[in-house]
Structure 1
Amino acid sequence: MKKLVFIAIAVLTIASCKNNETKVNEDLVTTANSNLAVYKGEFIYTADAAVLKGKDFIYGVAIDEKMHELADKVAPVKKDDYDMVPVVVTGTLANKPEGTEGWDEILTIIDIVQVSKTPAKADVKIEDKKAKAKQTK
């Protein structure tokens, strides 16, 4: 009888425990003490725009002093102008101003946490048929 009571108490205790695990998006983690968030993605800056692309988001980046600082840190890593470089930044996200062109959401970088030492692998690789033909001769 004591075994049955002990087993019942154990089962009830285990069943009543709340599972405190929370699923965290790898690309976006909100910091505990502020309204800032940490964004992990691939950064590219061209003359026309700056973009941060994560696994499930693409944000335009506000072109300001911090963005230029990030572009300067990314420049030595890039092999060509269109390479994207993995970065981790903190920032704030806002909707684009009405009547302006560009991405729906704009990320304003507050701090640069990390810049990768190698560019990201290209999602699509474009081959030059003429160059390929020369290699096979």
Structure 2
Amino acid sequence: MKNMLSLLVLFLVLVGCEDEDRRDLVSEPEAEEVADTVPTLVGEYIYVADAGVLRGKDFVYGVKIDSMAQVLAEEVQPYKDQEFDMVKVKVKVKIEQNRRREGWKEVIEIREIIDVLEDKKTPEDQNIEE
């Protein structure tokens, strides 16, 4: 009987005590806003013969040629009048040191194409300019 009474008291003491740490763990945490760590650049893009360049107001980067650089080259093609025209774009990039000894100190790897910022020319506009 004493054992039963001791267990009952022990149980009531354990259940009756509020554990603030446990309550904090059980409650849902507030959502944290995480800043985007991938830089977004706006500049003029050109891709010619396996070389790409992104030029902005205060930067010029060589572009690492990969599938994303080629996709961007295809997307800007309708906006170009001549082969060497540069088209304004907005992209998310990874900036890294150029491992080659030639060209720019830093090159970019295009991670995401956000937008092509030039007005798209209609076929009628292209016929007028020719």
Q: TM bucket by the smaller chain?
A: 0.5 to 0.7
Paired with 1:112 and 1:57, the residues of 2 have a C-alpha distance of 18
Q: Which runs of 5+ in 2 are unaligned?
A: 1-33, 121-130
Q: Which letter does structure 2 place at the counterpart of 1:76?
A: P
Structure 1 moving runs of 4+ over 6 Å: none
For the residue of structure 1 that corresponds to 2:82, the secondary structure is coil
Q: Match for residue 24 of structure 2?
A: none
TM-score (norm 1): 0.59
Paired with 2:117 and 2:83, the residues of 1 have a C-alpha distance of 16
Q: Match for residue 38 of structure 2?
A: 36
Q: Match for residue 67 of structure 1?
A: 69
Q: Is the 8 A contact 1:35 1:92 kept in 2?
A: no
Q: Which letter does structure 2 place at the counterpart of 1:50?
A: G
Q: Match for residue 115 of structure 1?
A: 116
Q: Match for residue 54 of structure 2?
A: 52
Query: Shift of residue 48 of structure 1?
Result: 4.3
Alignment pair present for 1:77 and 2:79: yes
Superimposed CA distance per residue, residues 80-108 of structure 1 (whole angstroms, 9 cap, x where no aligned partner) = 001000000001100101x4322111010
TM-score (norm 2): 0.62
Q: Match for residue 101 of structure 1?
A: 102
Q: Is the 8 A contact 1:85 1:118 kept in 2?
A: no
Q: Give the structure with the larger helix fraction.
A: 2
Superimposed CA distance per residue, residues 3-43 of structure 1 (whole angstroms, 9 cap, x where no aligned partner) = xxxxxxxxxxxxxxxxxxxxxxxxxxxxx634310000000
Paired with 1:68 and 1:43, the residues of 2 have a C-alpha distance of 11
What percentage of aligned pairs have identical amino acids? 40
Q: Is the 8 A contact 1:78 1:118 kept in 2?
A: no
Superposition RMSD in Å: 1.6
Paired with 1:117 and 1:36, the residues of 2 have a C-alpha distance of 23
Paired with 1:72 and 1:100, the residues of 2 have a C-alpha distance of 28
Q: Match for residue 129 of structure 1?
A: none
Q: Which letter does structure 1 place at the counterpart of 2:71?
A: E
